[in-house]
Structure 1
Amino acid sequence: MQWFVFKTTPKVGRPSLRVRAPVASSPQKQYSSKTAEIKSGEELHIAVLGASGYTGAEIVRLLANHPQFHIKVMTADRKPGEQFGSVFPYLITQDLPNLGAIKDADFSNVDAVFCCLPHGTTQEIIEGLPKQLKIVDLSADFRLSDTNEYAEWYGHSHRAPELQQEAVYGLTEVLQDEIRNARLVANPGCYPTSIQLPLVPLIKAKLIKLSNIIVDAKSGVSGAGRGAKEANLYTEIAEGIHAYGTKGHRHVPEIEQGLSEAAESKVTISFTPNLICMKRGMQSTMFVEMAPGVTVSDLYQHLKSTYEGEEFVKLLHGISVPHTRHVVGSNYCFMNV
């Protein structure tokens, strides 16, 4: 669940596309009527695995406010028996079950599972869940369709290759029909979402060249997770910005996978992520070369027509510049060219 923004620059030849993505739901409108496939009044019972991390908390916030989702099971192996409001006090008013261990979870009255566990731990757990459950996995464990590529980037072999064949990549604005019919959905990463939403439509329409795509992306600290890490201490990150993963970030194969599928040929990018001293939010700036005869206006108009019916992706007007503060805590992606 990440959303973005674009900004237009008056340069000719290599426009920059700026995108930003927070991870939350819109304060004005949390849910799109377009996406509701549930019959009116029907209630879905939900389990959230790994609810005590930042991803789990955000999923709980979204689901707790949904008119037809009811959370029945919540797990956090390091906090069994605790009330969720004691872990995240801002959700203390929600009617939620206590946290428990995954091994003790009862899925007999559950329709769907949101898995918010760390990378590398999800594959075997999902493989052991009842087969009738719908599953959304928010780790990286099912995002890469090539299990050999997964092993190369994540340092261990894929532990559920047969499930990988079933998994559908969950970029909702691009793969709606596939997601609607899937049992297992791999939720996209933050950087990949912010980059693919603008670039996939432009690549499919052959409006930009496939070479020399440069991405400069910036993220808040919560993207690194809730675990204690020395590099993420306040004194280590305050009053500064720094690049990381410069020799190869794990999101690169996921980004290139999506762009290559759109192009129907291999696409490689130059990608530099940067850590910024803020809690949450994301901005990605893409520099591209336009195809012969294509103008900046062509890029803008194509993105406008692509996303005009989407609730949560908004193309800004004129030279309006997107700001993370305009979308943080919301489900929106703002863009401009």
Structure 2
Amino acid sequence: MKQQQQQQQLPGLDLQALADWLPGAVEGAGTGLGATLIAGGKSNLTYALSDGDKEWILRRPPLGHVLATAHDMAREYRIISALADTGVPVPRAYAFCEDQQVLGAPFYLMERVEGTPYRRADELNALGPERTRAISERLVDVLVTLHSVDPRQIGLDDFGRPDGYLERQVHRWKKQLDASFTRELPAANELHRQLAAAVPPQSRSGIVHGDFRLDNILIDAADRPRAVLDWEMATLGDPLCDLALMLTYHRLGSAAVTDVANAEGFSSEAQIIERYAARSDRDLSNFGFYLGLAAYKLAAIVEGIHYRHVHGQTVGAGFDNIGESIHPLLQAGLDALKGGN
């Protein structure tokens, strides 16, 4: 009865079907499964899964409206597997299932890592400014480490098409935004026009996480990064896009997404850029374009969430006002292109 109740309470997760599949995929796994929803609605659904002895994290796509190329479980599983022996902290990958008869969508299991995904400034303020500064500096260091990995050396040389990456990003996020259309957004049209006309030569290709920010990293009790999560948009391309997107989240400073940059002691934007530049050899002279592109990308993601909320396809609370955050994002993108930084 308890298992049946859990199944009813967890959309997208059929515990009985999962129990039938699990022992053949993970050695030593039991069948008396319990699960809880960790995150749902905005992006991929994430569950904590246990057989009473062992624990895993299960990731699957969201319910309902799923954009083409988004929420690709196979790619996410592949990249965390490939990064296991690099200096980039990632969870151990256990098993991938492409049989949609099990849960109605592809999914994978990974290690459950202990740590905190800091999302709020008040969470960091509780640690004090010195610890907050250390966390923000290590955040940058992890990004530099990721961007220094040679994809060829870990079997990811075919993980993306780095040539022409920036042009394709401008096109891709226009396509994603159009696919989630619910209303007129003139500023989005203008930002796209300016981006398409100002694509710079891209920096040396490398691994791009695609959504790098502090609450996608588990920080342990010693304030060290233990695991980078949410690799669903990872590819090969221009890594400066990761830095720009992280800073765009910080500029937005919204509690609806993350406002960690408002915490006392958190590195300023200038300090983050300086630390990144000092530890990498990438040219940041055209960084205004990257910030504009980051704002446009984040706006498209927000509009996708807004679309799913409007159509009743989100799981969890907190989405009532998500659509309003697109307007300052679009303006920030236009300002970045105008000012160059």
Q: Normalization by structure 1: what TM-score?
A: 0.27
**Larger relative contact order, structure 1 or 2 (CA cutoff 8 Å, min sep 6):** 1
Pick the structure with more helix per residue: 2
Q: Normalization by structure 2: what TM-score?
A: 0.27
